[in-house]
Amino acid sequence: QVRLVESGGGLVQAGDSLRISCTASGRTDSSYFMGWFRRAPGKEREFVAALRWSDAQTVYADSLKGRFTISRDNARNTVYLQMNSLKPEDTAVYYCAGGQYVVPSNWRSYNTWGQGTQVTVSS
């Protein structure tokens, strides 16, 4: 069974960049997707980005495309989310998720979740 652990969150200022990580332990195969979601206080869980492990194909939320980049390091079994030009509205708990044969933007189709990492952007 796959276990996901996020790291790298913190407090930054508007305009800063931040990279958060998600390391997977356990077996993943070619059909496995890794996704990032976020949840701001009082708001619904929101899709950020996803990556297919086999070929690193990526999917992004339209509103975040160009500022956020998802990537992987096969050797470390780790997926990264690089966030640039951060805004106060990016403040949220960011969750890593994993699953096979998922609909990348649909959080209900993922079956494994990390504990979340807080990202706070001050104005």
Return the pLDDT at 120.
98
At 23 the pLDDT is 94
The residues pairing with 39 across neighbouring beta strands, listed in sequence order, are 93
Q: Does the structure show a pLDDT above 80 at 20?
A: yes
Least confident residue range of 25-29, 48-52, 58-62, 88-92: 25-29
Q: Using 50, 70 and 90 to split pLDDT, how confident is the model at 2?
A: confident
User: Distance between CA atoms of 36 and 69, rounded to whole angstroms?
Assistant: 11
DSSP strand pairing (92-100 vs 32-39): antiparallel
For residue 87, give the 3-state DSSP assignment: coil
Min mean pLDDT across 6-15, 30-39, 62-71 is at 30-39
What was the pLDDT predicted at 31?
74
Cα dihedral across residues 36, 41, 43, 44: positive or negative:
positive
Residue 15: pLDDT band with limits 50, 70, 90: very high
Q: Note the pLDDT of residue 28.
A: 66
As beta bridge partners, residue 71 has: 80
For residue 65, what is the DSSP state? B
From CA 24, how far away is CA 32, in angstroms rounded? 11
Q: How confident is the model at residue 110 (pLDDT cuts 50, 70, 90)?
A: very high
